[in-house]
Amino acid sequence: MSTDPQRLLARLLARPANHPELIVQALTHRSAGPDNNERLEFLGDALLGLVIAEELLERLPAADEGELSRRRAALVNQDALAAMARGLQLGDYLRLGAGELRTGGHTRDSILADAFEALLGAIYLDQGFAVVRELVLNLYAEALAEAASSLMRKDAKTRLQEWLQARRRGLPEYDVLGVSGEQHAQQFTVCCRLTDSEASAIGEGSSRRRAEQQAAETLLALLGGADSSASPA
């Protein structure tokens, strides 16, 4: 197993460590001695949570606190962190005690996850927050994009309902205002309105469902629950 911190940092950041001893400590399990990565893991956990939370808040303006918390938990749980550590081959750099070496500690999820967080803590102390943030966003680019796209795959009526429920507001009502055109080419006009305010929106479509979806999408945008920077009404 290699413990060369400069090699690892050069691969991750294309720059050497200012304080390589921090990187060594981040990769040292408690079984290897008292100067281990537990304190750096504590710091890295907080840093990772902050960067992911900030990015989810930016990318998912329609998500409520519960949705944001669930998505953050999915991105920073032990399985996800261990997968990140394996992708970085952190197991090759770990310093373990004799017992952990014999039992394959360098492949254990808990040890890999802790080392990944500790490494973030060490990089923060060595290089600063901006470098840590850039690294996390690079590593999580695909997962964060999937989190945003999966939310948008929910239809507009569902997203509007969840947005309202999160704010303990009543569910919307949909009224057909008119149907025009021949039987084979009908056009529906639907009004989506809130029951606790005068907010409403009109939608049109070739079916009642499509008109309702368009009306819900428009109303959600007016309320600030779509992908916009508006504040909730």
Q: In the chain, where does the domain assigned CATH 3.30.160.20 lie?
A: 156-223
Contacts 24+ apart (CB under 8 A), 154-161: 155/213, 155/216, 156/213, 156/214, 156/216, 156/217, 156/220, 157/212, 157/213, 157/216, 159/62, 159/216, 159/220, 159/225, 159/226, 160/192, 160/216, 160/219, 160/220, 160/223, 160/225
Q: Which residues are catalytic?
A: 45, 117
Residue ranges, the chain, pLDDT below 70 = 1-3, 5, 150-154, 225-233
Residues with Cβ within 8 Å of 17's Cβ and at least 6 positions away in sequence, in order, are 5, 6, 9, 23, 126, 127
d(CA 216, CA 160): 6
Q: In the chain, where does the domain assigned CATH 1.10.1520.10 lie?
A: 5-152
CATH code of 5-152, in short, is: 1.10.1520.10
| Matching residue, tokens 């691969």 | 11
Q: Please give the pLDDT value at position 173.
A: 96
d(CA 203, CA 168): 25
The structure's pTM equals 0.66
The architecture CATH gives domain 156-223 = 2-Layer Sandwich (3.30)
Q: Please give the pLDDT value at position 152.
A: 56
Instruction: Quote the tokens at residue 123.
Output: 């990089």
DSSP 15: S
Q: What's the pLDDT tens digit per position in 118-176?
A: 999 999 999 999 999 999 999 999 999 888 776 655 678 988 998 999 899 999 999 99
Instruction: Quote the tokens at residue 27.
Output: 């990769």
Q: Please give the pLDDT value at position 107.
A: 93
One-letter amino acid identity for 163?
A: W
Q: What does DSSP say about strands 173-180 and 200-205: parallel, antiparallel, or unpaired?
A: unpaired
